[in-house]
Structure 1
């Protein structure tokens, strides 16, 4: 008898050992109780039925008889009750062990699924990061962003420029005329091939110590009646300045030769430097009446384009094309067709949620194929002019973007928001790499010719120069109070030119 062990209780059956068809040995009484609970399902093989007639009684010797039944208040009765409770406890323990085994199997399966999911997520993240790097490299080089096999961008959702209803025959299907796009691409190819060489600092390039020793030289380009200079911009070489003042004149100045090129009678610019821009001899501005004015040197061209509520204006590196951004988000591409006339080549909407967001500023990549839109929601939209699609959206701040400037290296972009905070963005990673603030609020920003230094002006009149990637190293140039309305670097960073809203003087620090 001692050789038998009940598969349910783990104890030796007292008097009724039976064998199941599947081979297990159990106490018959205990097994029958279990069958009642499981509706005659085999407790060891739940998928099969088990009936009492299928049980095989085992013949044993030295049968151990259970105690006789007695009254409930007798010791045998108590023992019988304890025996019943023991049977129930053993059955419950069996169920618990079985549930534990099932739980272990489920946990093992769940852990396997979790491990597989982690591997899949890691691979997807790796592919996403690779796609982002490819897109950022394409944007940094001023070219088109790579597309996937199904024709969709690997970056953010892209939006194609809509073609005007009355498109001319020579326009491509995406809106910009084929001949204009060819000129933009040719300029990109030329500038992109020489940009790396041009953005290397030579032996004569100004050091941080040189900049710290700068002194201000004041130059008067405007009438004494001028209360201040509204805006100032310079060309990419830092040799030419264009200033707009309240004396209703625009002045073109050659910084290298230290002489005035021309005075042009023109109303003041309607805002800051994002309403004034120049490339070579082409100067574009928006006056206080909201009219777009384009000049070839001191000659005003005829602009046959109707725009309203202009937010910013930029001249393309070709010098023959001008971008005008309305606050509504409409972008107008203007083309100088001859020495006297300017026509509209294309127009599209640069904002995907018109009405909720407005355009507040604009910038152009040094190579000319990326148009950047500063928005009222603090975000920055990057448009690929080659594919005419929205390549990426970065940011945003809680305040509108009021000023944008590209590093000539083409990989960094600086933006100033309406709260006076400055952010520097890495276009390859599409994220902010520096955040700078000043107590007085930042109003203007400008990279040096090779992208080594970044200058920004404050509302109190200070010009602060910081070393790119060493943002804590700052040099303060201060001379008088008044909001900085324009900053321009000279050749080899030998000087920094600044203007203020409270002074008609142009201050050349060098």
Structure 2
């Protein structure tokens, strides 16, 4: 059997090609290289191109073994050499792996150290920002050294412009109130069938549990704000049954919260003698992050209650330091601060028209203050305990007040007279009329709902006294 041999190398070609022009057999890679470089056959010196080469179909050539592999000792030597090379390569790979691990460990250590440094810098930045906000608040509430005596603590006073705006709004509200209808008002039978649909006891921190106050948005009732013993303000979405935002900034328990009726703004009061105004960072999503816009520091004792004027521009704060104040929502600046009064004020609220302020005192009275006249126009007496809470009816005709002696009094503000007294099942901490003024809710050891059976008489419609609904007193409605 003849063997094909390359004319150039003299060995059996792996990919043989044949040239009819030179009648020679070549190894493809060798002849192609010669053709590209010289254009001639290195054997016959004839001109040659790629087209002159024809591929040969032959059986695959099996290379003969080297001389060293033709005997058992030679094969053992080859295997030993391959083994040594493999071990050497394995050693180098292990060495590289160990080096890479050390480099990775060092990089992770540096990353961890960098994260700790960044966290420390963020804490320092937040602390610096808090100090800046505090200094800004102190500056905005401070009085210049050369300011006249009449401008105590930088107050602007209830100017004629402010009073004119309040009067115009009160007139328009008084006209529209007579035309108001409530097609969605639940009939008495529906109210009597009301039952608990959900209980949420873990929305505040478990280390300091307890909801102290609550407020429901007037236009969007699924938006709920709560204040807790843990000094946080929680924004709760009733549709999703979960908290959507937490606002931390007070140093003691939150005593009152209010949702602005027209803006994504929350006001809060605390035992730390401050009130805060929180504004949403988004103009389209009410559940986005809230930031503290203003911190009000006009009081020297616990701020007990808040109320928002119907204009939506002014915030009322009451305190145990025997004072109350009206503030500008936009700037946080105090407009009028009534100080050194006869008693502390556990509760206070604007009238639905905005021209009257009612405040419950620890002296067992309800004080009615006329915004236009800027003077007390009535003092309602009859309670045997400190007045803890009060609420105006939606039509503005009635005022409900409650005290620690467990008594709720209904006042007709047109006379003014106490037209009904209701005895609750314990000290009352919260009362609230519904938007229609038809129902009154009373929170003590349980929640009682009363209905106007006549124009001047309330009767109990339903009471929520089942175990598990409320374990203690009801501080907010």
Shorter-normalised TM-score: what interval? 0.5 to 0.7
Residue 464 (str. 1) matches residue 444 (str. 2): no
Residue 394 (str. 1) matches residue 384 (str. 2): no
Residue 201 (str. 1) matches residue 182 (str. 2): yes
CA–CA distance in structure 2, aligned partners of residues 413 and 381 of structure 1: 12
Residue 317 (str. 1) matches residue 317 (str. 2): no
3-state DSSP class of the match of 2:311? coil
Contact 2:185 2:436 in 1 (8 A): no
Change (3 A) 1:434 1:241: same
CA–CA distance in structure 2, aligned partners of residues 398 and 169 of structure 1: 38
Contact 1:170 1:178 in 2 (8 A): no
Offset of residue 219 of structure 1: 5.0
Residue 361 (str. 1) matches residue 330 (str. 2): no
Offset of residue 224 of structure 1: 6.2
CA–CA distance in structure 1, aligned partners of residues 154 and 424 of structure 2: 52
2:337 to 347, 356, 360: 347
CA deviation profile, 1:63-86 (whole Å, cap 9, x unmatched): xxxxxxxxxxxxxxxxxxxxxxxx
Q: Counterpart in 2 of 1:425?
A: 411
Residue 411 (str. 1) matches residue 404 (str. 2): no
Length-normalised TM-score, structure 1: 0.55
Offset of residue 303 of structure 1: 3.1
2:464 to 477, 481, 489: 477
3-state DSSP class of the match of 1:455? strand
Q: Counterpart in 2 of 1:213?
A: 193
Mapping 1:22-33, distance limit 5 Å: none
CA–CA distance in structure 1, aligned partners of residues 449 and 251 of structure 2: 28
Give unmatched runs, 5+ long, in structure 1: 1-162, 488-510
Contact 1:269 1:276 in 2 (8 A): no
CA–CA distance in structure 1, aligned partners of residues 249 and 265 of structure 2: 15
CA–CA distance in structure 2, aligned partners of residues 471 and 358 of structure 1: 30
CA–CA distance in structure 1, aligned partners of residues 352 and 321 of structure 2: 25
Contact 1:315 1:322 in 2 (8 A): yes
2:247 to 252, 260, 264: 264
CA–CA distance in structure 1, aligned partners of residues 311 and 252 of structure 2: 23
3-state DSSP class of the match of 1:301? strand
Q: Which runs of 4+ in 1 moved over 6 A?
A: 167-170, 256-259
3-state DSSP class of the match of 1:188? helix
CA–CA distance in structure 1, aligned partners of residues 405 and 171 of structure 2: 37
Change (3 A) 1:229 1:343: same
3-state DSSP class of the match of 2:475? strand
Offset of residue 206 of structure 1: 0.7
Contact 1:267 1:287 in 2 (8 A): yes
CA–CA distance in structure 1, aligned partners of residues 254 and 408 of structure 2: 19
Contact 1:323 1:334 in 2 (8 A): yes
CA–CA distance in structure 2, aligned partners of residues 386 and 311 of structure 1: 24
CA deviation profile, 1:169-221 (whole Å, cap 9, x unmatched): 996xxx412333233234323433322333x332x321121112112122547
Q: Counterpart in 2 of 1:300?
A: 292
CA–CA distance in structure 2, aligned partners of residues 170 and 305 of structure 1: 13
Length-normalised TM-score, structure 2: 0.59
Contact 1:399 1:418 in 2 (8 A): yes
Residue 278 (str. 1) matches residue 259 (str. 2): yes
Contact 2:155 2:334 in 1 (8 A): no
CA–CA distance in structure 2, aligned partners of residues 399 and 249 of structure 1: 30
3-state DSSP class of the match of 2:346? strand
Offset of residue 247 of structure 1: 4.2
CA–CA distance in structure 1, aligned partners of residues 230 and 257 of structure 2: 16
Give unmatched runs, 5+ long, in structure 2: 1-147, 281-289
Mapping 1:54-453, distance limit 5 Å: 165-166=150-151, 175-198=157-180, 200-202=181-183, 204-220=184-200, 222-223=203-204, 225=206, 227-237=209-219, 239=221, 240-255=223-238, 260=243, 262-267=245-250, 270=253, 272=255, 275-280=256-261, 281-297=264-280, 298-303=290-295, 305-309=297-301, 310-337=303-330, 341-349=331-339, 351=341, 354=342, 357-453=343-439
Offset of residue 422 of structure 1: 0.6
3-state DSSP class of the match of 2:384? coil
